[in-house]
Structure 1
Amino acid sequence: MTAPGDAVPERYPGFHVLDQAKRWDEETRSVVFSRVGRPPDIRFFDAVQEAAATALFDRLLDQHPGDRPVPVTAMVDARLAEKETDGWHYDDMSDDWDSWRGSLAALDDEARDTHGTTFAACAEEQQQELLGRIKDGDGEWRGFHRARIWSLWTRYACTAFYSHPAGWDEIGFAGPAFPRGYKNLGVDRREPFEVADGRPEQMPKDGTGR
């Protein structure tokens, strides 16, 4: 157990997925490297919505300014601007564009009613408390089905985060299998380019206690 003030070991020490780029073909490299560097300009959200969305994603993904954060807001904004949705939505909800704009406005309203300011201006602890209340409360939340608006937020957040190389670094994913492939299939059978988990005690255990 790590004592207060001790350094927390890296999850995958020394691992950086872009070190594998030389093993990818040119098309794969082009796709992956298009996701790093300067994020796309904001086109869908206005400034108020952008601030609320950024704070929301930071809490959902536990991102902080010094963590080399993934530009989730810009990535989600680009999807919405290009109308690249999941291809479906709940039949009792508006389309994703209206649901995003409406739910971010509702999030700011919730924050103002509780703390007298916008969601983005709240302290992290206040933001976490608000989100917990939205997720776990009873009945509808400001005209939205709680589980379904939570699904919308988390689906877009996770899709953006785990399509970015920084997200791959966090989970030790060595990137696209093409053209190199993977040969050591099975639990704890790592490839030479993979790295062991530096914090295995944090892995979830199954019913047998393993």
Structure 2
Amino acid sequence: MPVDPKTRQPLPPRSQPGYYAGFSTLSQQEFWDEATRSVVRARVEQVPPIRYFSAEEVRLMQAICDRLLPQDDRDDAHKILVVNYIDDRLYNRRIDGYRFEDMPEDQEAHRLGLQAIEAIAQHMFHSSFIQLEPLEQDQVLQSIHDCKPPAGHDIWQKMSVMHYWLLIMQDVLDAYYAHPYAWDEIGFGGPAYPRGYMRLEGGKPEPWEVHEQRYEWAAPPSSLSGEYSPVGGEGEHKQQTPGQEGTH
């Protein structure tokens, strides 16, 4: 949970974290066409059920997502069910249209990745990932981010460490930032069609948007989220962003 940088006390969860208090993308839905309105509302009102992951995999995947993109600053009613949307993509076999040549299909890659993360947790801390403290969980995931996993070597023979990291991060971020609650958090005004945007320069808000209201916060001490290093670790690997080089 983020903390007050002065008192170091946890900040209470909010229905709407971020710097745009009071803004609601869904309040603008009357200006969207019916197709757009249906798609966006479904992301709130029709959360897909779990159909791909097993119950055990869901628990592990949830614990991983809770560290990759923590939602401690959200109250329970406004948490975005990231795992459900990743599961839905895998169940329906929706893909980007390409795959890195050193990666299996996304469905298999995610299952192998879960097995590898559990193996690393057992190797580093002699416990299941789910049972670890937050900082220990971060250290397990950091080893994959740095492309230096200390265990699961048989799995990493089947897929690239870096490309697995990019896969899971892309899935987590795609699921989160496709949701209207995340749009509220970042002040995104929602679909531009058919109304469009008027103020494209100067950083000025549209008439239906709100001004940024910043507040101070810091990462909790039981977390690595306040630290930055490029994927692959400092000076070890060329950082690579998602793209089609080396794909088929």
Give the alignment's TM-score, normalised by structure 2: 0.74
Give the alignment's TM-score, normalised by structure 1: 0.86
Provide Cα deviations, 1:39-77, integer angstroms capped at 9, x if missing partner: 221111111211111111111112237352211100000
- In 2, Cα distance between equivalents of 1:124 and 1:38: 31
Shift of 1:157: 0.7
1:183 aligned residue (178, 182, 198)? 198
- In 2, Cα distance between equivalents of 1:182 and 1:24: 13
| Structure 2: runs of 5+ lacking an equivalent | 218-248
- In 2, Cα distance between equivalents of 1:156 and 1:118: 23
For residue 189 of structure 2, what is the aligned residue in structure 1?
174
Aligned pairs for 1:60-139 within 5 A: 60-64=68-72, 66=75, 68-138=78-148
| Aligned-residue identity in percent | 36
- In 2, Cα distance between equivalents of 1:89 and 1:190: 39
- In 2, Cα distance between equivalents of 1:161 and 1:189: 25
Residue identity in the other structure for 1:30: S
Contact 1:17–1:173 (Cα < 8 Å) also in 2:
yes
Provide Cα deviations, 1:64-122, integer angstroms capped at 9, x if missing partner: 37352211100000000000012211101111111010101111111122223222222
Change (3 A) 1:85 1:28: same
Change (3 A) 1:7 1:76: closer
- In 2, Cα distance between equivalents of 1:134 and 1:118: 16
- 2:50 matches 1:47: no
Alignment RMSD (CA, Å): 2.4
| Structure 1: runs of 5+ lacking an equivalent | 203-210
Q: How many residues align?
A: 202
Shift of 1:7: 5.8
